[in-house]
Amino acid sequence: MRWLLLLALVLPWTAGAQDMGDVPPGQVPIDDVWCTVCHYQEGDEFALSVHYQRGLLLCDDCHGGDPLEPDPEMAKAPDTGFIGKPARAGIADICARCHSGPAEFFALGPHADPANPDNPSCITCHQNHLVVDATLALMDTACAFCHAGDAAVVAQVEVIQTTLHEAEQRLYAAESRFDSLQGIDAGLRRSRGMLVGAGAVLRQIDPRTHALDMNLMDESITAFDEEAEAVGDVLDESEGARQRRRWAVVGVWLFVAANVTLLWLKRRQL
């Protein structure tokens, strides 16, 4: 099977690579993953997921086993760590190997007890094989799986979405103002770290949303707003300095004009 692996590495650089669909650089083509021979539906979904496209994960990262082993018995042998379909209670732990933050806050929230079959697990909202980037829009559909028509839940979802969306808009506004001013005042690049820091503070809210607790989210947003305000002060100072320099130019030319006038007067006196 080594030639297959070699092929997997070489193929993206050959003309044939275009026919294979989107195989990310360095990733194994999905058709070379033997699991998909039987689990073709899962394979098709997984091929579109961010885990395959960007994460360079394969089946074994959650299920164990050896996805590049053609013999089904050997691929699922005990020494490969094969676990098959994870137990419902164990899903959060698998996801938490990489996504520890969301798992930690999820445990604080109303959906916490993973053993309770009435509660959702990670994959209820984020899907199991077709995992895509999580956005606020996910809440529109995912919450309705269980809470369809529940006005209180719909209202709460809207509050969360609006609060986060507005904070993001404030970040984008700060970023675009920073960029446009940096074009004029190159020295601002030394304060770029503050802007990046503010963005990082805002991103801390992502895991916190999993607790579905408005207070926890507000903490992050308050912290972000403080940082964003500091960035705003730096930008205000830059604009102020620029304005002061403009006035200085006006002053310089008044001085020049006065002196040239005097020189002209002097010359008429000669």
Contacting residues toward another protein, per CB under 8 A:
185-187, 190, 245-246, 248-249, 252-253, 255-256, 258-260, 262-270
Q: What is the DSSP letter of 136?
A: T
Give me the phi and psi of 94, to 5 degrees please: -65, -45
CB of 184 to another protein, least distance (A): 9
Q: How big is the CA angle at 39 (ends 33 and 40), to the nearest 5 degrees? A: 75
**The residue type at 2:** R
Compare residues 108 and 262 and give the one whose CB is closer to another protein.
Answer: 262
C-beta of 87 vs 262, nearer to another protein: 262
User: At its nearest, how many Å lie between another protein and the CB of residue 185?
Assistant: 8
Residue (85 or 245) nearer to another protein, CB? 245
DSSP code, position 14: S
Instruction: Please choose, from the candidates 95, 147, 97, the residue with its C-alpha nearest in 3D space to the C-alpha of residue 126.
Output: 95
Minimal distance, residue 186 CB to another protein, in Å: 7
Among residues 40 and 253, whose Cβ is nearest to another protein?
253
The distance of closest approach from Cβ of residue 264 to another protein in the complex, given in angstroms and rounded to an integer, is 7
Query: Shortest distance, CB of residue 13 to another protein, whole angstroms?
Result: 24
- Residue placing its CB nearer to another protein in the complex, 145 or 253: 253
Residue in this structure with the two tokens 């360079």, named with its chain if needed = 56
Three-state secondary structure string covering 94-131: HHHCCCHHHHHHHCCCCCCCCCCCCCCCHHHHHCCCCC
